[in-house]
Amino acid sequence: MEAALNVPAADDIHAVHLPDIVANEPHLDAPDFPLLEDDEAELLAQQQRAAAEEQLNQDPKVVHFGGQAGVPLADDAAHAYASYCENLDGNDPANPWAPFSSKLDWEVARWAKMRGPTSTAFTELLQIAEVRDRLNLSFKNTTELNKIIDTRLPPAPQFNCEEIVVDGETYEVYSRDIMQCIKELYGDPEFLSSMKFAPESHYADDEHTVPVYSEMNTGRWWYSMQTRLEKNTPGATVVPLILSSDKTLVTQFRNKSAYPLYLTIGNISKDVRRRPSKRAQILIGYLPTARLSHITDPETRRRATANLFHACVRKITSPTRPHALAGTPMASGDGVVRRCHPIFAVFIGDYPEQVLVACVKTGECPKCQVGSDDLGNHAESPMRSIRAARKALRTLDDGLETYIGACQAAGIKPVYHPFWEELPHSDVFIAVTPDILHQLYQGMLKHLLAWLTTAFGASEIDARCARLPPNHNIRLFKNGLSILSRVSGQEHKDICRILLGLIVDLNPIAGVPATHVVRAVRALLDFLYLAQYPSHSEATLKYLEKALKGFHANKFIFEELGIRAGFNIPKLHALRHYVASIRSFGTTDNYNTEATERLHIDYAKDAYRATNHKDVYTQMTKWLVRREQIMRHANFVRWRLQQANIEAAPVPAPRRPRFHVARIPNFKSVTFAQLGLRYGAVDFEEALAGHILKEQFPNLSSAQIQNLATGMQLKFNSVAVYNSVKFSLDDPQGREDAPDVHDVVHARPSYLDTRHRAVPGRFDTALINVGDGGSSTVAGYQVAQVRVIFSLPVKARAAAFPPGYRGPTHLAYVEWFTPFTQAAEPNHLMYRVGRKYRAGHRRHAAVVPVSTIHRSIHLIPRFGPHAPRHWTSANVLDKCHIFYVSSFVDRHTYITVY
């Protein structure tokens, strides 16, 4: 593949002579299909949306609560690590790794507990002749290592096994002191930089008329709670307790399960809370998983299950009651002491957990009083009253019939003392928050996919799936969607990215126009993506409400097609409460179940695998506590090394450049002829000549450059070629602490794999910045297919450009698509683009700097009523001529292309 590069000296390359400027050059940029007519209303709506998105891209205007909220007390404690040092057995200022004898001793111990094999395997390793002696370890087996952790490291909150009696049966619950856990989270110095001690009001405008919601302390709940506490005893610091529970299988066979209960606090930033490696979520208990099979009556069994759950959680949470009322001194990581009020604020769980916690019947809403027959309507319903529920619960001593009647009147089940009954300042009906994973991905999207399959037929949808072009962020379901079973949340996310594009040209089997189906799908996808914004303003919340109204306005089509007989779906009704929850507790990434689902791996599945399957909870809790002690000691060792300057303080990793190309090209020398044959870059030399002219003479028009480039002869005939370019995209809402969005654009020819099978070439489409493209709207961007990613060898670069030229090093040969129309298509709201041609039906190509590539973009072919069967994923970009630009690749694309 590599071709020899024979570049003559710069003096031998003919200079480019420019003729006089020729006026009235022919314009060759006209698209091959008419553009849509301007729609003033649509353009105005897009401008308003862009303004709303741009507000979120700016730093908010912050108004602090004022008063004495979060004010420190007079007497401060020592820094958390200073206290840790005092409790460390064998502390030695000369040995920062104490109680371990050396750095190697500590590193081996940490590896054994965090990354190592089983306890038995580690002991066997140390028993190999000379291993322990050569490593000079202070322990010779797992038992001795565990003894060091248990006796010499400062203790972590310990688990206790207690018995709970419910309906005459005794059950074991493993839990630890919740107040110790709260203080552990609140006082961890690793969280200090992300801690919030008082509510704040954020606004998008200088006039403070457009509220912005993000972190939990920007929501109305915290502000209201702070106001309530300040009326009685000024100087309170609210500590919002966030509980979550979910039963999970710990084995693939034998049906073993665990029922973990997790705790975190809203004072810690949401970006820290949702990362398991940060330990901002802590396990506070394992609830009983008994099925109560000895109770034969189903209704009685359900009531006993609810009583058991609430009895266990009440036992765990009851220590917070006096402190929620009067407050308790708590020291943050820097030793500053404040009067803290731990208040139950949020419960995270799927729908079965929500109805269990709220004590409502399955099929009802755990937040409002909507009737079970009205769940499919979009009408307002009054919220459930915590006062009425507590009043009903107080009638327990008045007799069973009175109690049951009072609970029914209050809309709750007659549970024996729910855990939230006596928790001060708490409202369980408000505390139940949205659940993106189960309500949208595993809920409404799952329903929607089944409805669309019935409406359009599985075979046609599968055929379109197999013919979508590749993209770095797109999963290609080459065998279709109909064969999927037990679809995971991640698979539903992948389906979201392509779902709308699969149906835009279809008509339902019944022959009814698909307009309302398409609008319903678009509205639900809009809701799903908007609901996951990490920052919301009142303006964007209106778009969230509009999307939900749009779905309700078009869902009737599924009834007309005979697919649904009604929409009494609790998960559909739950979408009605997203806006209120965002206003109360901040955006949904504060309380999404995806974060707690991930915790099951560490706190349940891995913990179970570390046991010998006998007396499992005793072993699991010891295993978890020791890991916590090791992780806490690792942070302490790092801090002590920094304090002693033994090791330099970690320097923040430099922000990755926006794009990255491999240091060594995949092919050092590829001739222009080979680029035409293998890469399809048939006009490469002319396009490169045009780029050179444009760099040297930027005042020339496009037509003039094209005329000159046609006759220009380059004195070199090869370039260095790369297979891909990687992009690191900034967060579209401007958050500096947000992880980058990673993207890749591929441009590689076909090749033979290791088994000598032909692998087709891949030339991705990308969004090119041709003007002043921003973070929202497509203005300033144009779609192109990237055919070649290359750079000029040193001699060729010196020959092509004058001395001292510092233009772009990495270039791309692209084939243009038509510019974006001024407005998107009215039903599916996707933009339509097509191949752009020059005279003679030649594709309009150009060479552009790689730095102008904004990101990859996914194009949906316009299949028509039936996808042509000769199209494949590999050739569809060449066979099809008109495409729709997908908005749903990821949130970055969604904000840019709408």
Residues in contact with 174: Cβ distance below 8 Å, sequence separation at least 6, in sequence order: 159, 160, 161, 285, 286, 617, 618, 621
Among 196, 61, 277, residue whose Cα is nearest residue 585 = 196
Compute the distance between CA of residue 723 and CA of residue 240 in angstroms, rounded to an integer: 50
Among 594, 460, 577, residue whose Cα is nearest residue 514 = 460
DSSP string covering 599-616:
HHIIIIIHHHHTS-SSSH
Mean pLDDT, rounded, for 698-710? 85
Mean pLDDT of the chain: 89
Cβ 139 vs Cβ 149: under 8 Å? no
> How many residues make up the chain in this entry?
898
pLDDT (tens digit, 9 = 90+) per residue, 486-495? 899 999 999 9
Cβ 861 vs Cβ 890: under 8 Å? no
Beta-strand ranges (E) seen in 447-544 are 536-537
pLDDT (tens digit, 9 = 90+) per residue, 279-311? 999 999 999 998 887 888 888 889 999 999 999
Residue of higher predicted confidence among 645 and 746: 746
Query: How many C-beta atoms lie closer than 10 Å to residue 434's C-beta?
Result: 25
Res 738: pLDDT: 56
Note the helical H segments in 288-399: 298-317, 321-326, 351-358, 386-393
569 phi and psi angles, rounded to 5 deg: -115, 115
338 phi and psi angles, rounded to 5 deg: -130, 160
Residue type, 768: I
Res 252: pLDDT: 66
Mean pLDDT, rounded, for 871-876? 95
Residues in contact with 281: Cβ distance below 8 Å, sequence separation at least 6, in sequence order: 244, 262, 263, 264, 273, 595, 596, 599
pLDDT (tens digit, 9 = 90+) per residue, 786-812? 999 999 988 888 888 888 888 899 999
| Partner residues linked to 834 by β-bridges | 882
Mean pLDDT, rounded, for 447-471? 95
Residues in contact with 159: Cβ distance below 8 Å, sequence separation at least 6, in sequence order: 174, 175, 176, 285, 621, 624, 625
Res 91: pLDDT: 85
Mean pLDDT, rounded, for 618-636? 95
Residue type, 426: S
Task: Kindly state the tokens that stand for 304.
Answer: 């006993």
pLDDT (tens digit, 9 = 90+) per residue, 5-31? 333 333 333 333 333 323 333 333 333
Cβ 659 vs Cβ 726: under 8 Å? yes
Compute the distance between CA of residue 125 and CA of residue 119 in angstroms, rounded to an integer: 10
Res 254: pLDDT: 62
Mean pLDDT, rounded, for 414-422? 95
- Region of poorest pLDDT, from 12-21, 551-560, 713-722: 12-21
Res 318: pLDDT: 96
Mean pLDDT, rounded, for 387-401? 94
Res 13: pLDDT: 32
Which is it for strands 248-249 and 236-245: parallel, antiparallel or unpaired?
unpaired
Residue of higher predicted confidence among 208 and 46: 208
| Partner residues linked to 328 by β-bridges | 340
Among 669, 851, 666, 880, residue whose Cα is nearest residue 773 = 851
Confidence of residue 498 (pLDDT cuts 50, 70, 90): very high
Tokens 């190697």 belong to which residue? 104
Tokens 């200022």 belong to which residue? 93
pLDDT (tens digit, 9 = 90+) per residue, 427-453? 999 999 999 999 999 999 999 999 999
Res 253: pLDDT: 62
Residues in contact with 352: Cβ distance below 8 Å, sequence separation at least 6, in sequence order: 362
Cβ 787 vs Cβ 681: under 8 Å? yes
**What do you get for the CA distance between the two ends of the chain, in Å?**
41
Res 657: pLDDT: 72
Maximum separation of any 2 CA atoms in the chain, in Å: 106
Q: What is the 3-state secondary structure (H, E, C) of 468-485?
A: CCCCCCCCCCCCCCCCCC
Compute the distance between CA of residue 566 and CA of residue 563 in angstroms, rounded to an integer: 9
Confidence of residue 655 (pLDDT cuts 50, 70, 90): low
Query: Does residue 648 sit in helix, strand or coil?
Result: coil
Q: What percent of the chain has pLDDT over 90?
A: 68
Query: How many C-beta atoms lie closer than 10 Å to residue 490's C-beta?
Result: 12
Mean pLDDT, rounded, for 122-129? 90
Res 651: pLDDT: 55
Query: How many C-beta atoms lie closer than 10 Å to residue 231's C-beta?
Result: 8
Confidence of residue 3 (pLDDT cuts 50, 70, 90): very low
Res 803: pLDDT: 85
Res 380: pLDDT: 86
Q: What percent of the chain has pLDDT over 70?
A: 93
Res 162: pLDDT: 92
Res 652: pLDDT: 56
Res 740: pLDDT: 61
Compute the distance between CA of residue 746 and CA of residue 723 in angstroms, rounded to an integer: 6
240 phi and psi angles, rounded to 5 deg: -70, 125
Res 117: pLDDT: 79
The top-scoring range by mean pLDDT among 169-173, 249-253, 584-588 is: 584-588
Please say if the pLDDT value at position 189 is more than 50. yes
